[in-house]
Each structure stands twice: as structure tokens, then as C-alpha cells.
Amino acid sequence: WEEERYPEGIKWKFLEHKGPVFAPPYEPLPENVKFYYDGKVMKLSTKAEEVATFFAKMLDHEYTTKEIFRKNFFKDWRKEMTSEEKSTITNLSKCDFTHMSQYFKAQTEARKQMSKEEKQKIKEENERLLKEYGYCVMDNHKERIANFKIEPPGLFRGRGNHPKMGMLKRRIMPEDIIINCSKDSKIPAPPPGHKWKEVRHDNKVTWLVSWTENIQGSIKYIMLNPSSRIKGEKDWQKYETARRLKKCVDKIRNQYREDWKSKEMKVRQRAVALYFIDKLALRAGNEKEEGETADTVGCCSLRVEHIKLHPELDGQEYVVEFDFLGKDSIRYYNKVPVEKRVFKNLQLFMENKQPEDDLFDRLNTSILNKHLQDLMEGLTAKVFRTYNASITLQQQLKELTNPDDNIPAKILSYNRANRAVAILCNHQRAPPKTFEKSMMNLQSKIDAKKEQLADARRELKSAKADAKVRRDEKSKKTVESKKKAVQRIEEQLMKLEVQATDREENKQIALGTSKLNYLDPRISVAWCKKWGIPIEKIYNKTQREKFAWAIDMAEEDYEF
């Protein structure tokens, strides 16, 4: 951490790596695995067969029943066919992939049944790849690379109802790849018979490899692991920016409240949007190409149809009801009481507009971000999210932690504080498929513990009666040991019950996103140090590597 810093914008002076690991080549299906068209066996060309296997592997998935997925897949699959195949295969509904699908299921089963030795062999091969390709040298450090393997080809899924789902993700070849390394390093060699698209030496960026994927036309990168110095430093800076916001947030809040009364419509809209971003941790919401992506919005791109105004609802005044699809097509639904001025402004913004019109028609993200930049250097909507998430965690931990609780109970309090943040940021998940089953298992464990506790208590009672009669050392000792047994079982029961509460409350909330991206890790580290909680109860191994800087830096009195 304490090494010399480079001039502004320069990320490294020396960078050397081995390049990416490509997806293994396609292995054609064995002769006995058949594809049927219109009830007849049909042998496919290698290219067409490969794309067919992608669909076959997803046959049990609901994606393959969706109209748009099937349409996009069929269109892209036809591009890979020979002219004969194209003239024969004209209808996806006549294609029968079941035989292929069964073959892949059997393969998956076989992998599960592998012997220890076979598994060990695969593990060793993966370790060899990691050793050779998984590290780079940046300046004087050997650093771990995050994703050195390039994604294999397959069918695009996307989140929510993505208009491009089912399209073919092409195989990435060396000819698509841009390599970034320093001039004086050993430049990675492309696979035999191939060449790189380009080799560059750009030390103002931190990526090692990049390519453009064919579906969205977005650029993909191979970067360093989160535990690397360059990523850790960026992470640390992010939370320092959020802490700077803490110093001026009151001033900013007073300013946007004043702006609700502005004579300029543009200023009023900006001020109401900022209030939402601050109070509700909404994302800014960029403008997007229509038809290219799923119809998701953020604060600036909200439309009139996404909110309903209630002068009174459930005994509260001035309630705004939000209902829209946010990032990754996650639904945001919330009923929030707002200040009267905000309510009146929203009524004004919605006047004479159609449902599909923009709510903030005088505002876009660049106008908003420019304004934020004027308020504080480095301020964006995301900084508000980070600030509000971290400050909420800190406040909740103060309120919820009971100094007299044991460790499992304190960890429950921690998870409850983390849940408050996940709810603020709207981080949801579908209840895990195995949820009911694992809850039943846990419940039966609890029932068994309760029986065990009843037995132990009975034993204690008779030992006490026995001791009353005998009045000797031996029976006194027996009472003591039975007492301890009861205490031990009570603690175990409590631990299980806490676990059950935790799981139930966590059923539809994703804690990981905020823990990794929005919460200053120093708050958690300080909390652990203060209450003597082992850090591994809060962060797993990967997370401890990512947050090594915080574990090293934060003392128990750290304040965000």
C-alpha cells in the first residue's frame, strides 16, 4: 500500500502475462446420439451440430419455451447450416433434441459419479492452468488474474425479458483478441496458426486482454483479481469518496430542498430526482437504445406510468407508489411517503402527459451527473448509493447489537443490519430451489434438539433429587455435569433457532451484492474487532482476500 504513486492516470510501468485460455474446441457427438427432424434421423454438419447442442443442453430450461428465445435461436442457427440443411430444416417445432439432451444429462451424472482419482486429475489440470495463466507481473508484484479463461460459445440468456435472448454467442478466436502488456515484457504468443487482432502497450488502463462480444457489441475485459493491489486501492478510494460525501451531504440536502421551489422547471426536476436518489438509493438510469436491451429504467428515465400518487394511503399522507423494472430486470416496488413539496412537484411534472412520457422530461443522466460533479468532485448517483448503504449498516449495527448476546445472536444482528441495506438497495433473489427442503431439515434438527433438551432436564431433575438424599461428593458432581449438559444443549438449540430465523428472513433478499460492492468493509471489520467476533464469520476466504486492505487498516473505533 505504501509504495510510490505514479503520476495521474498512469496505472503501471511493467506488465507481463501469458494471454487468455481459450475454450476447448468442439467435440462432435458420438455416432449413436441422434438428431431427428420431422420424425426422421438427420446427420448435421459439425457447425450446425455444435449450435444444436447448445439448445439441447437447455431443453429443460424455461428459456427454450419462450417465443423470442426460439425465434432468435432459429435465425442464428440457420446461419451456421449448410444450404442443404437450410432447405430441409424450416421449422424449429419439428426438431427433436431429446436424444441429445439425454446424452448430456447422462454425461453430467457420470461426472458426479467420478472416482476420487479422476476428480484429482481434473483438479491438477486446473491448478496447472492457474499456475501458468492465472498470474501476471505488474510492476514488482506477482498478481492473480480474475478471469483468465474466455467464455465458451453458447446461447445468450440476458436478464429478464431481453429482446436478444437465444442469439448465438460466437466462439472467441485469437483474431478477436487485443493484448495489453508493456513493451519490455515477453509478449504472449498466440495459439499455433493464429495471430492476435492487436498488441498494445497502454499503461493508462488496467486490463490485460479485451475483445468485443457479438451480441450487444460490448467490450469484455480480462482484469486482475479483486485481491490485487490495483483493485484494492480502487475499492478503498470508492469508500473514501463516499466518506467525503458524508461531510457535505447536509449542504447538498438543503440545496436540493431549496431547488424544489425554483422558478426553473429543469432545476425542480433535477432536485426531485436527486431526492429520490438520496432517499431511496435509486440508480441514475442511463438512456438506452430501444429494442436493443430489456426495458429497464432508473431515476432519470422514469416514465409517468411508473409512479402513482396517493394524497393519502394506509394512514400516511403524500405517498408515491413506484413500480418499474430496474437494472437486470429486477422489479422495484415501493410505497413511500414523501414531503409535501415533492408530491406537489410530481403532480406538476405529470400534468398533460401520457403514461409513456418521461417523468423528468428536462433531465438526463449527463445533466444530473454534471450537477453532482459541481456539488462535490467525484460525486455520482452511485456514490449516494454507497454512502447511504454504508451509513445504514453502521447505524443499524449500533442499534441492533446487544453487548450481552452470544456470538450466534450477534451474527444474526449483523445479518439483520445487512438485510436493511439490501432492502434499501432493492437487492432481491428468487427463493432458493432447495429452500423448503433445507428449512424442513433444519426444523427436524430443532425438534430433535428440543427432545434432547427435555431428556437432559429430566436427568438433571432426578440427579438433584438423588443428591438431596445422598448428600455426597459424587452425586454433587453428577448434578454439576448434568447442569452443564443442559446449558450446552440450550446453546446448541438457540444456535439452530437463530439459523432458522436468519434463513427465513433471508429467503428473498440477496445480501452478497451490497456486502461486496456497497458496504465499506472497515465498518464490518471494526464491528468484529469490537465484539470479538472472528472475521471469518462475516467474510469468507475470497472476501477476506478482497478486503485485506480493510482488515489491515481498521481498528475497532473506526467510524465511516
Residue 254 CB contacts under 8 Å (≥ 6 apart), including other chains: none
Residue that has been written with the C-alpha cell 441422434 in this structure? 34
Catalytic residue among 63, 135, 518, 539: 518
Count Cα neighbours of 250 within 13 Å in the Cβ-side half-sphere.
Answer: 1
End-to-end Cα spacing for the chain: 20
Q: How far, rounded to the nearest angstrom, does the alpha carbon of residue 315 sit from its chain's CA centroid?
A: 36
DSSP 45-102: PHHHHHHHHHHHHTTTSGGGGSHHHHHHHHHHHHHTS-HHHHHH---GGGEE-HHHHH
Are the CB atoms for 158 and 30 separated by under 8 Å? Answer: no
- How many other β-carbons are positioned within 10 Å of the β-carbon of residue 275? 22
Q: Give the containing element (helix H, strand E) for 137.
A: strand 135-138
41 bridge partner residues: 36
> What is the spatial distance between Cα 49 and Cα 82, in angstroms, rounded to a whole number?
11
Distance separating alpha carbons of residues 24 and 173, to the nearest angstrom: 11
Q: How far apart are CA 10 and CA 15, in angstroms?
A: 12
> Residues 6 or more apart from 492 whose CB is under 8 A from it?
449
Residue listed under C-alpha cell 473514501: 240
At 96, which amino acid appears? Answer: D
CB within 8 Å of 232: residues ≥ 6 apart: 226, 546, 548, 549
Catalytic: 558?
no
- Residue 282 backbone phi and psi in degrees, to 5: -75, 155
Largest pairwise CA distance in the chain? 99
Tell me which DSSP letter residue 263 carries. Answer: S
Nearest Cα residue to 223 out of 145, 295, 162: 145
Residues 6+ apart with CB under 8 A from 189: 19
Q: Which three cell numbers stand for residue 66?
A: 419462450
Long-range own/partner contacts, residues 151-158 (CB < 8 A, 24 or more apart) = 151/23, 151/220, 152/23, 152/24, 153/23, 153/50, 153/54, 154/54, 155/54, 155/55, 155/58, 155/63, 155/69, 155/73, 156/72, 156/215, 157/63, 158/294
Of the candidates 325, 370, 321, the one whose C-alpha atom is nearest the C-alpha of residue 350 is 321
- Interacting residues of 248 by C-beta distance below 8 A, sequence separation 6+: 375, 376
- CA geometry: angle 51, 54, 58, nearest 5 deg: 150
Short-list 345, 299, 298, 339, CA closest to 319: 339
Q: CA–CA separation, 71 vs 164, rounded Å? A: 10
Residues annotated as catalytic (active site), given as ranges: 518
